[in-house]
Structure 1
Amino acid sequence: MLRNNLPPATEPAGLNLAVIGAGPVGLTLALQAAQALPGARVSLFDARPADKDVSGDPRTLALSLGSVQLLQRLDAWNAEAAQRILEVHVSQQPPSLPALLGAWMPEPEVRIRAIDEAVPMLGAVLSYGAIVAPLQRVWLAAAAREPQRLATRFGTPVAAMKPVAGGVEIDAGIAERFDLAVVAEGGVFSDQLRKGVSHDYRQTAWVGTVQLANPRPGVAYERFTRHGPAALLPLKDGRAGLVWCVPSDDDPVAELTEPQRLAVLNTVFHAEVGALTALSPLKRFALGLNAERSLTDGRAVRIGNAAQTLHPVAGQGLNLGLRDAFELVRALGSSQDVDAVLRRLEWKRGPDRWAMIAATDFLARSFTWQVPGAGAARGLGMVALQKLRPVKSALARQMMFGSR
């Protein structure tokens, strides 16, 4: 769990920190470092110009409760734009277990509810712009108050980065030396160079929004189908964010018109969802796993999508990146030995990071297995999980706060 208070700042005197990438993870790290490491100089680099308005970016993202708490402590939480997640309903589309074991067996499903975990919410859903805009506003205000310590280098793409004795040299028009560089600029799977651990799932995510006839506020749905997982994330005004994963080689969505896509979607989700009455234009993204074996390389650290790009089946990629940022700044605030901090960071982040990589990779690959009974086995697991309350609660805590 992310703790309410950071430890007293004892960071290396005069630490000169570069943060590359002003998306949600980079901004969070830069802002947290500015607040928790008062002796550090922080320079935030990004290729986009500072006057580019990001508030209208409609991409839908799910934040865990731990991520919400972190943004609240940074005074960068947009509560009005967020839709709380109060329940997550996971089910499997027939034919599945009932077809094999008889009609007496209910359709496999798992329900995780905030009330059962004694928390106000499991997380929240909001747009990319509604996450980045408040973070950027708070950062720019902090930089205006302390221009000698906090530098905003927007519109300044980093062309190269190389190790030097006791630090990193960054070329962003001119060569500058920093004690530590944090790369938080990852992009999407299709645009990335392949890392040490990489796998193309040959799946496509179709992303957009739908309108629900009878919405249940605060309920997120995930549906396992024979093509792949599909999810609905609750939004305001009876809408939901859609993530619809299908095989890339035999894509059943690409050639459909929007009315046809809506008709198909109305056969995909659990009956509880009800009718989907409207569908936005959809965008598609290639899906794969692309992860660094190590977060650190000398005095350079990669976090967020720069460290690991995951399948969206569990919706945990951004949350994992925010935990990377939190733990790095907390570690820098507890020791004056940067190299020791980086060694401990690798050890500290390993269980959370690799557990999430393994879980999402297993689920993503399971939809491509041509093994008889694979769907039935997944259904049996869901039935067991629903009945084993302590195990389900442990999973909920993992999703909310990561491994601790």
Structure 2
Amino acid sequence: MSANPTLSLAVVGAGPVGLTLALHAARALPQARVTVFDARPAEKDVSGDPRTLALSLGSVQLLQRVGAWNADAAQRILEVHVSQQPPSLPAMLGGWLGEPEVRIRAIDEAVPMLGAVMSYGAIVAPLQAAWMAAAQAEPGRLGTRFGTPVTAIKPMASGVEVDAGIAERFDLAVVAEGGVFSDQVRKAVSHDYHQTAWVGTATLASARPGVAYERFTRQGPAALLPLKDGRAGLVWCVNSDDDPVAELSDIQRLAVLNTVFHPEVGPLAALSPLKRFPLGLNAERSLTEGRTVRIGNAAQTLHPVAGQGLNLGLRDAFELVRALSRSSDLDAVLRRLEWKRGPDRWAMIAATDFLARSFTWQLPGAGAARGLGMAALQALRPVKSALARQMMFGSR
């Protein structure tokens, strides 16, 4: 029996985080009323959205738990290989240390995968289908308000008023509608990294299935996320103040990328047209304000250097529902949520911010120091394993 039998919950945003929260709440809070709002029309087909997202193992398990995991559309991540472009100090010390690199493997952590890579559409479409089926089965308890944007969320005594053409009262509103950094109103913690992410798909001539590559360069990180059929999702971060990619043709971009990644990757045979996105940090100091909670990109938008933005949002959703299932004191639940999520949120925010800023430092030896850190991490297996667990499951 739910600890919140009369709870009325509004979920604003039907992306991966919002829909996962709604489905989890519908199951874990069987007497609560849950309504999902989104400006997108319900009939709009989202399955073809090609944006590439990386899911940690913990996120995969959560999608499995809510019955919306599409294993056939996922490429498992079996290994993560992180390296740095020369020159770096470990590689220059007579070559005996070799080029600095870190390899994290699922087999070493005794897990079936470190995570998975999927398109945005392949994640959201099953979530939306599962939600629509649940709402159809329980129309009096589970509601859908698609096609009309929420224009206001107003605090009320012991609740909130959500206005999406018609004002409705709820005990709690969860905003999971974040958008990208360039479109967001600046939050309490904000920093423009003056970096641009060029995003698309690459075809590898000799891909190792299930291996994700990240390469630290002087401009910023570049990553290849494994997809089906020898393809990989590309995220290529460069200095936006003097963008070396913008004026290049697709053929020239492919030629440059073939000089960027570790030799193990092999040649990139083809490259899709690339889209660019400005990068920055934009985070709320608190997840809660009265009876409104912000999760996912609505709470924190991170640099993609660690690929943890979506995973952090899904953990926000899971912990909120778990807290709601254990107590009927809603204000105490929200206080506990801040305490529970704080270490995981701020550790991830600090780590990604530090790495992102490190690419802008003009300090002599910054790259060498990063290379030494990577070499040490590879050598210290317990530390590397702890990092792997943090990336898979967050702080528990």
- Aligned to 1:80, the other structure's residue is in SS state helix
CA contact (8 A) 2:287 2:299 kept: yes
- Aligned to 1:157, the other structure's residue is in SS state coil
Give distance in 2, aligned partners of 1:281 and 1:95. Answer: 30
- Aligned to 2:11, the other structure's residue is in SS state strand
Shift of 1:101: 2.6
Give distance in 2, aligned partners of 1:193 and 1:14. Answer: 34
CA contact (8 A) 2:78 2:211 kept: yes
- Aligned to 2:387, the other structure's residue is in SS state helix
Shift of 1:98: 4.3
Shift of 1:350: 0.3
Structure 1 gap ranges (5+): 1-8
* Structure 1 residue identity aligned to 2:201: T
Q: Which residue in 1 is equivalent to 2:394? A: 402
Q: Which residue in 2 is equivalent to 1:287? A: 279
**Correspondence for 1:162 among 154, 157, 170:** 154
Give 1:3-152 correspondences, 5 Å limit.
Answer: 9-98=1-90, 100-152=92-144
* Structure 2 residue identity aligned to 1:344: R
Give distance in 2, aligned partners of 1:185 and 1:342. Answer: 19
* Structure 2 residue identity aligned to 1:134: P
* Structure 2 residue identity aligned to 1:270: H
Shift of 1:323: 0.2
RMSD of the alignment, in Å?
0.7
The answer to whether structure 1 residue 344 and structure 2 residue 336 are counterparts is yes
Shift of 1:63: 0.1
Which segment is superposed worse, 173-182 or 83-92? 173-182
Give distance in 2, aligned partners of 1:250 and 1:97. Answer: 26
- Aligned to 2:192, the other structure's residue is in SS state strand
- Aligned to 1:341, the other structure's residue is in SS state helix
**Correspondence for 2:266 among 261, 274, 289:** 274
Give distance in 2, aligned partners of 1:99 and 1:87. Answer: 23
* Structure 1 residue identity aligned to 2:234: L
**Correspondence for 1:332 among 299, 324, 340:** 324
Give distance in 2, aligned partners of 1:297 and 1:225. Answer: 40
Q: Which residue in 2 is equivalent to 1:247? A: 239
CA contact (8 A) 2:91 2:98 kept: no
CA contact (8 A) 2:2 2:325 kept: yes
Give distance in 1, aligned partners of 2:294 and 2:313. Answer: 10
The answer to whether structure 1 residue 183 and structure 2 residue 183 are counterparts is no
* Structure 2 residue identity aligned to 1:370: Q
Q: How does the TM-score come out when normalised to structure 1?
A: 0.97
**Correspondence for 1:231 among 223, 228, 235:** 223
**Correspondence for 2:190 among 198, 205, 213:** 198
- Aligned to 2:55, the other structure's residue is in SS state strand
Give distance in 2, aligned partners of 1:245 and 1:144. Answer: 43
Q: Deviations over 1:246-267 (max 9, x none)?
A: 0000000000000000000000
Give distance in 2, aligned partners of 1:162 and 1:143. Answer: 25
CA contact (8 A) 1:233 1:240 kept: yes
**Correspondence for 1:304 among 296, 308, 316:** 296
- Aligned to 2:132, the other structure's residue is in SS state helix
- Aligned to 2:187, the other structure's residue is in SS state coil
**Identity score, percent:** 85
- Aligned to 2:185, the other structure's residue is in SS state coil
Q: Which residue in 2 is equivalent to 1:362? A: 354
Shift of 1:156: 1.6
Q: Deviations over 1:9-55 (max 9, x none)?
A: 43323111000000000000001001110110001000000000000
Shift of 1:343: 0.2
Shift of 1:174: 1.6
Q: Deviations over 1:129-187 (max 9, x none)?
A: 00000000000000000000000110020001110000001111121111000000000
Runs of 4 or more above 4 Å deviation: none
CA contact (8 A) 1:162 1:170 kept: yes
- Aligned to 1:333, the other structure's residue is in SS state helix
Query: Alignment length, in residue pairs?
Result: 396
Give distance in 2, aligned partners of 1:13 and 1:215. Answer: 51
Give distance in 1, aligned partners of 2:131 and 2:75. Answer: 24
